[in-house]
Structure 1
Amino acid sequence: MRVAFAGTPEFARAALERLPAAGFTVPLVLTQPDRPAGRGMKLQPSPVKQFALERAIPVAQPRSLRLDGKFPDEAAAARDALLEARPDVLVVAAYGLILPQWVLDLPRLGCLNIHASLLPRWRGAAPIHRAIEAGDAETGVTIMQMDAGLDTGDMLLEERQPIAPDDTTASLHDKLAALGGRLIVEALELAACGGFQPVKQPEQGVTYAHKIEKAEAAVDWSLPADAIERRIRAFDPFPGAAGQLRGETVKLWKARAVMRGRGSVEPGTIVALDEHGVGVACGEGRLELTELQRPGGKRLAAADFLRGFPLEPGERFTP
């Protein structure tokens, strides 16, 4: 089977790596254009492109696939590359571009998407972050037959993944990336023998995982402690939850929620300090910050952080 692939970040690379290993021919990879990164802001290839180059797989990097859009020449070149690749199926994982109808129709088996949620919950751009933020007990991976809607296609395979109490987006991402790579191989093996049994998504239970914005990093201390703790885990590694303290933006990487009802202290006020954490009053309960980071510094356990940045009870994180 000839399997073209469209994806960009590490989540997608984990799936792409599984395809040649499982015996599938990958004649073409589509990925986002190189982006500036690092201190020197030099152009860097995506993780998917890096793997494709290592395996000498042809790569196309159009800024759009719309033949009537802003970059019609790039879209036409990508279409020519796909036609030449003659894929039986296109696997899509966190690609970052909308696929127009001509792409969906081109492979004889259509386009299969690796989506990091249990559809129809958390359709959209940030399903891992939003599942943790919402306090979901589990998530998973769905292999979906793509259609013109936003993550609305028929489901082909699904597997659940518990969300651990200490899971961050980083740790859960790695679990789901490995799961997605295994499931897409199973799906392609089913496709090879005509074994698909598509299931329509339920109409009830639809939620949308909106893109994470940098502005969400600022902690709202009026929220309950457990909600803030979930957001800290959800925003690790990006954008990183943060609070303003003495005019500095302090990143908050780990915390424990201590729920003891609504106190009389202004939310954001430091109420306790010891080697185990920095206790901060919240709208409900208290949050013990156990790993923090100053601008330009490293992530530090609370005790090490306090040695370099001594605090006093009564100081307050400001909006």
Structure 2
Amino acid sequence: MRIVFAGTPAFAVPALRALVEDPKRRPVAVLTQPDRGAGRGRQVRFGPVKQLAVDAGIDVLQPRSLKNEEAQAELAGYRPDLLVTAAYGLLLPPDVLEMPAHGCWNLHASLLPRWRGASPINQAILAGDEETGISLMQMDAGLDTGPVILRRATSIGPEETAGELHDRLAEMAGEILVEGLDCLDDGSLPTARSQDEALATHAPLIDKGDARLDWNRPAEELARMVRAYHPWPIAFGEIEGNTWRIHRARAGEGSAPPGEVLDDRAPEVLAVGCGRGVLEILELQGPGRKPVGARDWFNARRGRR
């Protein structure tokens, strides 16, 4: 089996590692997006998938697009039997989809057709979903629209953040990929099932502005936002005239005007009034500062008065 793997961020690393550690399935090449600058100096750094591929001695291809003939010819030179993608970030054109003998598989972090798109983990938490999972699908020309080969579900913890769920699903992606390849090897691969378009929901790219907390909204929604936008871009809101990033919070009972701090739970909890209920903030961060607990916030508040 000549496998080409396509992925870019940390989510794709467990799946690639599963292939690298199996001599029969070691990829002949890895596709990943071009290097980008990071940090204040915009120093160019390898992405997580590229770093693993380089460490493993696997050829790395980094085309800006797979639509041009040169990039397609380079890929075709590896004579792939199967192309596996996981958070690659680039759409595969029809010529690439038809290139491998077994087509192209994609590992997607949701139970398709729910949450197609770029932010399925975040959207599942924002919506209050009780479960999510990994879908192994046969790719077609659409965005996460292809028939599903295998699915594996998992419950979402009541306090689980997007970062924590991301890490669990990444490991699950590696496991379901191995399961799919085992089935392909022994001829037991399930027939891929078409998705029900009537059940499709979409998970668009996240913008930093999406993480702004509006205290007029219910506390339950704001608590989900805090979890869904952690560790990026991190929810933020205005408290007593200053903007704070909120790292940990939960919905609580009680009432107060939206945005007003309740002193009856100080100093263990910083409770802020919402449209319904209160948001109990356990950890927050001011501009240019380290995250602090509610007690430290109240101590600093006394110093400001």
TM-score bucket of the superposed structures, by smaller chain = over 0.9
Distance 1:45 1:89 in 2: 25
Q: Which runs of 5+ in 2 are unaligned?
A: none
Note the alpha carbon deviations across 1:227-250, whole angstroms, 9 max, x for none: 000000000011110013455431
Q: Using the alignment, how far apart are the partners of 1:182 and 1:309 within structure 2?
A: 49
- Code of the aligned partner of 2:249: A
Letter aligned with residue 268 of structure 1: G
Amino acid at match of 2:8: T
56-65 or 187-196: bigger deviation? 187-196
Asked if the contact 1:93–1:113 (Cα under 8 Å) also holds between the matched residues in 2, the reply is yes
Describe the superposition over 1:146-172 as per-residue Cα deviations: whole angstroms up to 9, x where unpaired.
001111111111110100011100000
Aligned to 1:73: none
Matched-pair contact (CA < 8 Å) for 2:5–2:83: yes
Structure 2 equivalent of residue 274 of structure 1 = 266
Q: Residue in 1 aligned with 2:292?
A: 300
Shift of 1:185: 1.1
Task: Confirm or deny: 8 A CA contact 2:7 2:32 kept in the other structure.
Answer: yes
Distance 1:90 1:50 in 2: 19
1:36 aligns with 2:28: no
Match of 1:65 in 2: 66
1:158-197 map, 5 Å: 158-196=151-189, 197=191
Identity of aligned residues (%): 46
Letter of the aligned partner of 2:117 in structure 1? G
SS at match of 1:232: helix
Contact 1:22 1:185 in 2 (8 A): no
SS at 1:178's partner residue?
helix
RMSD: 1.7
- CA shift digits 1:107-166 (9 cap, x unpaired): 000100000000111011100000001100000000000001111111111110100011
Query: Aligned match of 2:250 in 249, 252, 256?
Result: 256
Q: Is the deviation greater in 168-177 or in 265-274?
A: 265-274
User: TM-score normalized by structure 1?
Assistant: 0.90
Q: Would the aligned equivalents of 1:248 and 1:295 in 2 still touch at CA under 8 Å?
A: no
Structure 2 Cα separation of the partners of residues 63 and 248 of structure 1:
41
What secondary structure does 1:149 align onto? coil
Larger displacement relative to structure 2 (271-280 or 173-182): 271-280
In structure 1, what is the Cα distance between the partners aligned to 2:19 and 2:2? 10
1: CA distance between counterparts of 2:22 and 2:253? 49
Match of 2:8 in 1: 8
Q: Which runs of 5+ in 1 are unaligned?
A: 68-75
Q: Secondary structure at the match of 1:129?
A: helix
Name 2:138's counterpart in structure 1: 145
Residue 228 (structure 1) aligned with residue 217 (structure 2): no
